[in-house]
Amino acid sequence: MSDPKGVSAEYTIDLPEPTLSGRALDVQVGGGHYKDMAIQPIEFIMKNNLNYCQANIIKYACRYKEKNGEEDLQKIKHYVELLIDMEYRDG
């Protein structure tokens, strides 16, 4: 890819190394706050067909102590408010 001055730019993406099991659940990009859980949030979310807001509520509730603390709790409140608006106020 070239910019207007003719200088080429190369882009790379760092991907996690494949695991021996070949399962994506055995790899976590950006930390280990989900891998050590008995049931990872994504497993619970997918098996219960949760919507986007519900999924984020579960995700942030599971990780707040190990990752972003109060910020993640504020995100939970925001997604609960969105869910209430969409399910009960917007018709």
Task: Give the whole-angstrom CA distance, residue 85 versus residue 55.
Answer: 16
pLDDT at 90: 72
pLDDT at 30: 53
pLDDT above 60 for 69: yes
- Which has more pLDDT, 54 or 3? 54
Show me where the domains of the chain are located: 24-89
pLDDT above 70 for 26: no
pLDDT at 83: 95
Task: Give the whole-angstrom CA distance, residue 31 versus residue 67.
Answer: 9
Cα dihedral sign, 76-53-79-67: positive
